[in-house]
Amino acid sequence: MPALAFHRDDSLPFLEAKRCMASDLAYQKHFHEEYSIGLIDQGETNAWCDGTQLLVEAGRMISFPPLMMHACQPLAGMEWQYKMLYIKPEWFQGLKQRELDQLYIPYLLEDGKNKACRLQINRTMEALTGKGTPLAIESALIELVQALVSQNDSDLEHEPQGKHDQKYANLIKEYLHAHFAEKVTLENLEAEAGISRFHLVRLFKKWSHLPPHAYQILLRINHAKTELAKQRPIADVAAEAGFYDQSHFARAFVKIVGATPQKYALSI
């Protein structure tokens, strides 16, 4: 694995990720036009942020709003690794003003929120670097942002349900059932339901107990099971269900069915 790598998905032009494992790489004062969210995986660094000096330790997250001047200098004598997401500001349209205000403060998070956000940034990176679908990548990113802007750890669980929320969730379900094998994006679902992608992911998970991308994968696997029962070639079934290769199909299949596609087909 290279010491410095960048990751992008053509379907998500607003997002770029960076993974750094170069212990001797320091950054002089600079700013980004994007909103930046980072996690220190190993080591420690002195971070200068708009005149404030911060010590960022392993496991801690830090963020910088667009155009904010910052710099970082990893401590000598230890391995230093971090990951960073860069998100274009226009993507945040649809957030409430209170939530936007929460984002535009650079900070180190308190322990409870830091833990929740660390989980979500890792999920976003895993989806992006593991060739996840655009729907999976952006859904993970939205859950990260919602964890960042929540006032406390239980905000999302106790958010009141609107009387029309189930209607929106059903519209999204119907669209996913009709297009489960396609490269669906949150932009598609946003247009279908007529609500912002931030609210969309939140309410769909509340009513369906899964984010949209996980629901789509279930639809793909259920379709694959039906087709494998007809003794069709595994490669043909994987492609028809929307998986980009057989290994990706097999991993997803095992997680849900408990057996590989080949074992499932042979058992029928």
- 102 and 91 share one domain: yes
Determine phi and psi for 37, rounding to 5 degrees.
-130, 125
- 8 and 104 share one domain: yes
Question: Residue 239: inside a domain, yes or no?
Answer: yes
Question: Residue 119: inside a domain, yes or no?
Answer: no
Helices and strands in the chain: count of H runs, count of E runs: 10, 9
DSSP state of 245: S
Instruction: Copy the structure tokens of residue 197.
Output: 């992608």
Question: Residue 140: inside a domain, yes or no?
Answer: no
- 14 and 38 share one domain: yes
Question: Residue 61: inside a domain, yes or no?
Answer: yes
Question: Residue 33: inside a domain, yes or no?
Answer: yes
- 196 and 243 share one domain: no
Q: Which residue, among 231, 229, 233, 253, has the nearest Cα to 243 in the 3D structure? A: 253
Which residues constitute the domain of residue 189?
165-212
- 202 and 220 share one domain: no
Residue 37 to residues 40, 86, 87, 155, 190, Cα–Cα distance (Å): 10, 7, 8, 21, 24
Q: What is the pLDDT of residue 49?
A: 86
Place of tokens 């029962």: 229
- 202 and 227 share one domain: no
Instruction: Copy the structure tokens of residue 108.
Output: 């180190």
- Residue count of the chain, please give it: 268
Entry pTM? 0.85
Question: Residue 158: inside a domain, yes or no?
Answer: no
CATH number for position 233: 1.10.10.60
Q: What is the pLDDT of residue 267?
A: 86
Give the sign of the dihedral formed by CA 255, CA 261, CA 262, CA 263. Answer: positive
Q: Which residues contact 153 (CB under 8 A, 6 or more apart)?
A: 112, 113, 116
In order along the chain (268 residues), what is the average pLDDT of each group of 10 residues? 86 94 76 92 88 89 89 82 94 82 70 88 94 92 89 47 76 96 94 91 91 95 96 95 91 94 89
Q: What is the pLDDT of residue 177?
A: 97
- Residue 146 CA to residue 95 CA, distance in Å, equals 9
Determine phi and psi for 49, rounding to 5 degrees.
-130, 105
- 39 and 104 share one domain: yes
What is the residue-wise DSSP string for 8-42? --TT-TTEEEEEE--TT--EEEE--SSEEEEEEEE
Question: Residue 28: inside a domain, yes or no?
Answer: yes
- Residue 17 CA to residue 86 CA, distance in Å, equals 6
Burial class of 104 by CB neighbour count within 10 A (0 to 12, 13 to 18, 19+):
middle
Q: Which residue, among 108, 80, 86, has the nearest Cα to 30 in the 3D structure? A: 86
Which amino acid would we find at residue 191? A
Question: Residue 118: inside a domain, yes or no?
Answer: no
Instruction: Please tell me the total count of domains within the chain.
Output: 3
- 208 and 220 share one domain: no
- Residue 23 CA to residue 78 CA, distance in Å, equals 7
- 104 and 14 share one domain: yes
Q: Are 83 and 127 in contact (CB under 8 A)?
A: no
179-230 per-position pLDDT tens digit: 999 999 999 999 999 999 999 998 999 999 999 999 999 999 999 999 999 9
Q: What is the pLDDT of residue 97?
A: 79
